[in-house]
Amino acid sequence: MTKELKSYRWRYATKKFDSNKKISKPNIELIKEAINLAPTSYGLQLFKVFIIENQEIKNQLKAASYSQSQISDASHIFIFCNKAKIDAADIDIYINNKSRIQNKPINEVQGYGDFLKSNLLKKEDNKIATWTTNQVYIALSHLMTFCASIKIDSCPIEGFEAKKYNEILKLSNQNLNASVVAAVGYRSSDDQSQYEKKIRKSFDELFETF
């Protein structure tokens, strides 16, 4: 078995974190890089990730998460927020970064920016919101996979009141919406879920090849 598959088998949705164990700053930086390297449609990265380590804020978020202990006990909470709508400035940021990072004249890449604007800015806001929400799940999967590779536990959480998260973090002022949460830290020895076998369909049930 490859080390990658061992990491997949090792990880599980951690139900109880050891609140005394904290992720080191260097490892947090590695997790941030893994998220930043995740693929996104057109490369636009139309989301933002808030990393919460302040205990008081975590306690507030727990109250808006149906009192799930992972929110208060995990070392860090990663909140993936999608752009509720996009405008020309979002595309200009990407084009300017492309010009700077790839050392290309702005006029050489501006045509791609114009294409993106003509294609995306005419879309309805609800369709954009659905699209950008889907994007954050790709980034979330990279967080969970990378964390497992360095033996850091995680738990994806959709059970929270997005409106309350938006209020606590003042997201609406930034045209952002809390989409999905990842609690990240180290499993407690009392978490019985880690000792249970994973329940998965057989390959014959899950896959079909033509």
User: Domains of the chain: which residue ranges?
Assistant: 3-85+124-206, 87-120
Give, in words, the CATH class of 3-85+124-206: alpha beta
pLDDT digits (tens, 9 = 90+) for 63-85: 999 999 999 999 999 999 999 99
Take residue 126 and report the two structure tokens written for it.
């609800």
Take residue 103 and report the two structure tokens written for it.
């050392």
162 CB-near residues (< 8 Å, 6+ apart): 177, 178, 179
pLDDT at 1: 83
pLDDT at 195: 95
- The mean of the pLDDT values for the chain is 97
pLDDT at 139: 98
pLDDT digits (tens, 9 = 90+) for 118-169: 999 999 999 999 999 999 999 999 999 999 999 999 999 999 999 999 999 9
pLDDT digits (tens, 9 = 90+) for 6-51: 999 999 999 999 999 999 999 999 999 999 999 999 999 999 999 9
- Point out which residues pair with 109 in neighbouring strands: none
pLDDT digits (tens, 9 = 90+) for 48-60: 999 999 999 999 9
Q: Where are the alpha helices (DSSP H) in the chain?
A: 3-10, 25-36, 55-63, 69-73, 88-101, 106-120, 125-149, 162-168, 203-206
Question: Which residue type is seen at 90?
Answer: D
Look up the pTM and report it: 0.96
Report the candidate in 102, 100, 78, 69 with the shortest Cα–Cα distance to residue 152. Answer: 78
DSSP per residue, 32-72: HHHHHTS--GGG---EEEEEE--HHHHHHHHHTTTT-HHHH
Angstrom distance (rounded) from CA 142 to CA 138 = 7
Angstrom distance (rounded) from CA 175 to CA 84 = 6
